[in-house]
Amino acid sequence: MRSRPMRKSLSRWASDRMRTEGVIYIGEAAKWAGRACARLNGYPWNVLGGGIVGGVSVGVGCFFASLAVAFDAPGWTYLPIMLVVSWPMVILGIRLVRMVAVRHFRRKLIERGVDNPLPFTVEVGAEALVITTGQTETRAGWSVVSEIFPLGLYWVFLIQGSPVFIPKRNFAGVGEERAFVRAVLDRLSEGAVKRSPKAVSFAAG
């Protein structure tokens, strides 16, 4: 199983639609999912809150432990030290958990006969955005596509509140990528275009 996305791209115009083809790896955009969803529900406070609680708990516990061992010493001085140590560990822990979860998810799907990577096709039609992942097709009318924006190595569509990631590597070049974004903007509602300033700026370039 390949762990890094390979380059494979093909885009072409066909009458009133644009079609881009390539591959997508299972869970490859997991690290960006929180930031994409945050455009609707704010920062993923559950993750941040868990980190804060974990870090503070370790620091407070060590603080009281130091007081118990040396009651007459300034035990509180250990608290900032432990916080400095615990915060990187909390952040590392969140990333490790995500990495393990993605690998577990990939392995389970592969065991069930799902390919990795999956053929990935996006078609910008007159009436709908059509996304084919493997043998699964998703058709979204343009009225439910509320935004398009760049994030990391992807273009992201927000479709009825769910992010859909389009790898930038699936475009043969910047010109092709810009043409794709322009085609999408031409079909979005006025409100969706206003919510997509970075896409508008990119398309204008």
What are the boundaries of each domain within the chain? 10-25+117-204, 40-111
Three-state DSSP at 166 gives: strand
| Strand-pair category, 145-151 with 154-159 | antiparallel
Question: Is 78 or 137 the better-scoring residue by pLDDT?
Answer: 137
User: Taking all residues of the chain, what is their mean pLDDT, rounded to a whole number?
Assistant: 78
Full-model pTM: 0.64
Q: Which of 5-14, 86-95, 175-184 is predicted with the least confidence, judged by mean pLDDT?
A: 5-14
Q: Which helix (H) or strand (E) holds 155?
A: strand 154-159
Q: Considering the domain 10-25+117-204 in this protein, what is its CATH number?
A: 2.30.29
Helices of type H across the chain: 30-41, 45-69, 78-111, 174-187, 190-194, 197-204
Residue 9 has pLDDT above 50, yes or no: no
Summarised one tens digit per residue, pLDDT across range 104-121 is 777 887 788 777 888 999
Quick one: pLDDT at residue 29?
81
Q: Who contacts 92 (Cβ-Cβ below 8 Å, separation ≥6)?
A: none
Percent of the chain with pLDDT over 90: 39
In the predicted structure, residue 17 carries a pLDDT above the cut 80? no
